[in-house]
Every structure is written in structure tokens, then in C-alpha cells.
Amino acid sequence: MEQKKYCHEITKETPHGNLIIRGPVIGAEIENLKMDDGLQAFRSPKQQKEAITDIANLPEGRVIIAIHEDTIIGYVTFLYPDPLERWSQAKMDNLLELGAIEVSSNYRHIHVGEDLLKVAFLDDAMEDFIIYTTEYYWHWDLKNTKLSIWDYRKMMEKMMSSAGLEWFATDDPEICSHPANCLMVRIGKRVPLTSIEEFDHIRFMNRFMY
């Protein structure tokens, strides 16, 4: 499902100066901006810039960015599920993964993550989608935040719930491999019951777990 992209924007006053949170943005806009050196949770800033540019250029891809002056200091991405993961098996065109959310270590504790999600869901088109995110503790920045696994989990849940994502049960082996891992989901207001049932089926694929 190719989406029409309407760009939403808010300005946030911070001790660093004003931040602009906007999106969905196109790849060309990302290419014209720098990446903050504190964006290293997944890969180097240069490689991550290439990755989010590619996502922004996908027909279904949505990237929201937080900008300070000419530098990206945070982002959140939405795209179709990875073909190798269970979530893609139903081939649903109204299922999007919240693939990554990251805020530079230089801009923590000012709620930029919540603002990125707020802007993402300003778009009424999101009411046509089931949005899910898989949270794995091994992706969390425990070292720099100095939080315990459980405190980090609480922080992630609070941030995701600010945008209407809720904890959902699943028998996915990776999520079940550690009690801190979780699946969080937001079901848009216009998502049909048939799609919700399809999603429920892929949440529980091991019948013995019912």
C-alpha cells in the first residue's frame, strides 16, 4: 500500500535551543542533513543515515526526524515487516513495523522520543494501520543510560504508550526468550476486524501455546 505523505511539524524548546520534529520526510531531505555523533545505537551515524534514507524512499516507508540546526538528533522509522520474520507471513498491506527509534546520547532526558512518536501519529493515515514494535533488551542502550533492564523496559513502555501502543501477548520465540522483551501494538481506528484477526493469527503461530 503506497501512502500519500503529508509532512507534519512541531517546534520544541530545549536547553540546546529549538528542535524541529517533522515527518514523514523524503530521502532527499535526510541526505541534506548531518547526523549527530551520538546516534550510534545500531550502527555508525553515517551508516544509519544511509539506512533511514533508504527507508524514507520505500513506497510504504515513513521516517520522522528531530533536527537541531542542520543536524538530525533523533528519528523513528516505520516500514513493512522484514520478509524473514513471522510478522510478514500474512502479507498484510496495513501492517507496519515501528522499526527503530533512536535519540542521540547528546540529547537525552528531554522527551524527544515521545515527540517523534507524537508527530508520527499526527497523520490521520496511521488510523488505517496496525503498528507494532518488537522490543528486545539486547538492542537497548543500557551502557550509556546506566539503567537496569527493567528500568529501561519501563521507560520504553512509557514512551510507546504515549502514542497509544499497548503490550500484546505473543508466542514469538525471540520475544519469549527473555521476560523483558515485549511486543507493543497500536491498532488504528479504521483497521477492519479481518485484519485484526490476521494479526492475532501471526501473534500465536504455535498452537500448543493457546
DSSP notation for 39-53: --SSS-HHHHHHHHH
Contact 33, 67 (CB under 8 A): yes
Q: Is the peptide bond before 24 cis (omega within 30 degrees of 0)?
A: yes
What global pTM score does this model have?
0.91
CATH code: domain 8-209 is 3.40.630.30
pLDDT in single tens digits along all 210 residues of the chain:
444 456 899 999 999 999 999 999 999 999 999 999 999 888 899 999 999 999 999 999 999 999 999 999 999 999 999 998 999 998 999 999 999 999 998 998 899 999 999 999 999 999 999 999 999 998 888 887 888 999 999 999 999 999 999 999 999 999 999 999 999 999 999 999 999 999 999 999 876 544
Q: Where are the domains of the chain?
A: 8-209
Of 130, 139, 143, 132, nearest to 180 by C-alpha is 139
State the residue for C-alpha cell 499497548: 166
> ∠ CA(133), CA(137), CA(142), 5° rounding?
120
pLDDT tens sequence across 90-130 = 899 999 999 999 999 899 889 999 999 999 999 999 999 99
pLDDT (0 to 100) of residue 94? 97
